[in-house]
Each structure stands twice: as C-alpha cells, then as structure tokens.
Amino acid sequence: MASAFKLNLNTPKGVIVKDLECSEITIPTVRGEINILPEHTHILTELSTGVLTAKTTMGTRHFSVTAGLCRVLKDTVTVLSFTSEKSESIDLDRAKTAKTKAMDRLSGKENLNDVDLIKFRRKLERAEMRLRLANLK
C-alpha cells in the first residue's frame, strides 16, 4: 500500500510546485472540497477558487488556486490552475488594498454592468482567499 503520492501544480505562467511528495491533499472544487489520500480513485474535476492544502513530510503547505482542473491518476495529482500562489509569497498589504477596492466598487455607489459586477466579485473572492492564505503561513 502506497503511503505518498506526487503533487504537480501548474499555471499558464509556469510551474508552482513539481513532484511534491504528499500524504494528503485538500482541494477546492466546484462541488465542494475533496480530500485526496494515497491510492485515491482516478478523477478529473473542476477547481473552484480557494486554498489547496498539502500535507508533506516537511509539514503542511498551502497554495491558492483560481479555476482550472484537477486530475488524480495513479500516484500523481496534477492541478492546472488559472492562477496560483504559495502562502509565503502573499503580499498582505496588497491583498487588503485589493479587497477594499473591490468592496468599494461593489458597494452600490455606482451602477455596474453585469460584466463589471462579475469581475469585481471575482476580485473580492481572490483578495479574501489571499488574506486567508496569508494567515496560514
């Protein structure tokens, strides 16, 4: 029985992590969070914006993910995310500023069209996720 598996996390801008040996991963999906353990059944699922948590022999690591796909196949979990950041690389002040700006735009002081409304809701969601991730360092 296998006790570990590999995590590969990629974005269009490059590799975030390659062959990270994990004993457990929690991944946000559009249907809720899933927990992946060694010898997990093969799946392909759509990601949601959130925090990916990977338990390794060196401790727990946290990464942001924003939309994309997750594939579990044999002993490898491959995550293709539109954006991703490591918890240690989050700029807390920038995330707070982004949240404030998004909340201001969504406050109702100005009329937003549907496209702008969706855009600023996503910006708010990403800023809140970065703030959660920064607190997990």
* pLDDT tens track for 5-45: 999 999 999 999 999 999 999 999 999 999 999 989 999 99
Q: Is 41 exposed, middle or buried (0-12, 13-18, 19+ CB in 10 A)?
A: exposed
* pTM for the model: 0.82
Q: Which pLDDT tens digit goes with each residue over 49-70?
A: 899 999 998 899 999 998 899 9
Per the CB < 8 A criterion, the answer to whether 55 and 22 are in contact is yes
Q: Which pLDDT score is estimated for 3?
A: 82
Domains of the chain from N-terminus onward: 5-88 (2.60.15.10), 90-134 (1.20.5)
Q: Sign of the C-alpha dihedral, residues 48, 92, 59, 16?
A: positive
